[in-house]
Amino acid sequence: MLSDSDLERYSRQILLPGFDIAGQERLRNSTVLILGLGGLGSPAALYLAAAGVGCLRLADGDAVKLSNLQRQFIHREADLGRNKAESAAAAIAERNPAVVVDLLARRLDEAALEEAMQGVDVVLDCSDNYPIRYALNRVCLKHGIPLISAAAVRSEGQLAVFDPRSGGACYRCLYPEAGAESALSCSQSGVLGPVVGVLGSLQALEAIKLLSAYGQVLRAELLLMDLATLDIQRVGLSARPACPDCSAYR
């Protein structure tokens, strides 16, 4: 049962028609894995903590650098050199100490991802590495866990929700070619801070909708945004019949 303090803290979202106390209790009983606590993971983690998700499992093996602070606002200058998952955990504890934080302060391979999935309800892919994205996709498919994927560079971003429970396309259906070691790099191509802020916030929004059974989740579509022009498109996604990752689960 929610305490009086909970009812006050989360009152503005509890007031939403279709959310109510039941939605808040679903959030409190949920565990979310956030892979990557950089530009996307920063707003995602803070909004999920502020919303009252019961447990956040934070995974990142990188350390905070000065160039991160332009957009990764979960970290502060005092955190330079500190592991990003540890830095993010400290910021979450200041924002909402009731949230349980599980720390995975290291890079995860596919075997480690299997262990990290225990008890997880939703996964947020906030990484910038194609091999780990493919591995995460496979593990989410195996365990039937929704995967909320986003990417952002320059002024452009994209968002998709891959939910094995409802079928449809997976991340590998969207990007079938493996082999690239990393996505377009912000360090090479540049990025505006609010762009990753918008996409990470949308990841948090989709996670809250999934967990609380509120609203309409972005399934079977890819949201494309160019925030330099505010051009926004939604493109339908279909499963590839011979997808090496998800065809075995259909």
Give the pLDDT score at 156: 95
Give the pLDDT score at 202: 98
Contacts of 110 (CB under 8 A, 6+ apart): 135, 138, 139
Give the pLDDT score at 47: 98
Give the pLDDT score at 37: 98
Give the pLDDT score at 167: 87
Give the pLDDT score at 129: 84
Give the pLDDT score at 189: 72
Give the pLDDT score at 43: 98
Structure tokens at 6: 């909970």
Find, among 109, 99, 243, the residue nearest to 175 by Cα. Answer: 243
Q: In the β-sheet with 147-153, what is the strand arrangement from edge to edge?
A: 100-104, 55-59, 31-35, 122-125, 147-153, 156-162, 221-226, 231-236
Give the pLDDT score at 178: 62
Q: Is 77 exposed, middle or buried (0-12, 13-18, 19+ CB in 10 A)?
A: exposed
Contacts of 51 (CB under 8 A, 6+ apart): 10, 13, 27, 204, 208
Give the pLDDT score at 184: 56
Domains of the chain (ranges, CATH numbers): 4-249 (3.40.50.720)
- Per DSSP bridges, beta strands 122-125 and 147-153 are parallel
Contacts of 40 (CB under 8 A, 6+ apart): 124, 126, 150, 151, 152, 196, 199, 200, 203
Q: What is the DSSP letter of 144?
A: T
- How far apart, in whole angstroms, are the C-alpha atoms of residue 79 and residue 69? 10
Percent of the chain with pLDDT over 70: 96
Give the pLDDT score at 188: 66
- How far apart, in whole angstroms, are the C-alpha atoms of residue 148 and residue 160? 6
Please report how the helices 41-51 and 193-212 are oriented relative to each other, as an axis angle in degrees rounded to 10: 40
- How far apart, in whole angstroms, are the C-alpha atoms of residue 209 and residue 201? 12
Give the pLDDT score at 190: 81
Give the pLDDT score at 187: 59
Condensed to tens digits (0 to 9), the pLDDT of residues 18-59 reads 999 999 999 999 999 999 999 999 999 999 999 999 999 999
Question: Chain-wide mean pLDDT for the chain?
Answer: 94
Residues in the chain, pLDDT under 50: 181-182
